[in-house]
Amino acid sequence: MIPNSILKSPFEDKGFPQKFTLRFQGSLYTLDKPKVMGILNFSPDSFFEGSRIATDEKSALQRVEKMLEEGADILDVGGYSSRPFAEHIPVEEEIKRVVSAIAAIKKTFGEVIISIDTFRAAVAQAAVEMGAAMVNDISAGNLDEAMLPTVAKLGVPYLAMHMRGNPQTMQEQTDYRDLIPDILNYFASKIEQFNKLGIRDILVDPGFGFAKTQEQNFDLLRNLRSFKQLGFPVVVGVSRKSMIYKTLNLSPSEALNGTTALHMYALIQGAQILRVHDVKEAKETIQLFQQLAP
């Protein structure tokens, strides 16, 4: 059950909305309005071909420059594809893919906030040492027992996602007793674990597409506001995912319009960060949402 210590009222006072802050490399960062996290995939088998970045430095920096010009607030660098049934790669290969990219980005773009998308402690350690300021872990510490102690030692914000199994097995683990309470209780337990280790800057991602059926994904989005009771920023990653393109009978490359539609709904339901492939369109969605907000 969700401990009373982390429950917050789901009825937010409109005059005093939730304000969240994160500490990146010693500086306080305020989530006073929704932010955009741009996806940078350095894995050759990511589900959306358009997001894959060539391994040469020039291609990477061109993609980063475009994202920053379009208004990306955070860059999420990953070297291991987490799509269903993705190829499993050695830790050394994942480190090789991301560390050189992070070094080049920091050298060229200075103070940009970089998140490392990994479930492996060694990769997180190497990335933060190279300049990453946040860890995005699809397993919330379940796939590497060293991850949580490592994050605690590094003292960086931690984005914990809900998933069952691993990318190779997760689609076989979609049987829930009651989807929303099950996931809320999962996070409640995790948050207590994080707090005991001294991890304070926490973000939560309900994990769209990870150990969830199409119907469950939409149920999750429909009930996204429930996650505000955890008391931490909610990150939504639906960009070009199968819940969009399969529903519309399209390909990932044709799923931008559907992505934008779900992004607006996610913002209405309280999402603080949108993790996206298409920064410009996400920023425009946020701008229009802010005009609608009371």
Instruction: Give catalytic residue positions.
Output: 241, 275
Beta pairing, strands 35-41 & 273-276: parallel
User: How far from the centroid of its chain's Cα atoms is residue 212's Cα?
Assistant: 16
What the block records as the tokens of 238 is: 């639906």
What the block records as the tokens of 16 is: 């005093």
Residue whose entry in the numeric block shows the structure tokens 């050759």:
44
Residue 180: count other Cβ atoms within 10 Å of its Cβ: 17
Contact status, residue 211 vs residue 165, Cβ threshold 8 Å: yes
Contact status, residue 229 vs residue 9, Cβ threshold 8 Å: yes
Beta pairing, strands 27-31 & 202-205: unpaired
CA separation for the pair 269, 194 (Å, rounded): 25
Residue whose entry in the numeric block shows the structure tokens 């060694």:
122
CA separation for the pair 282, 91 (Å, rounded): 32
What the block records as the tokens of 181 is: 């309470």
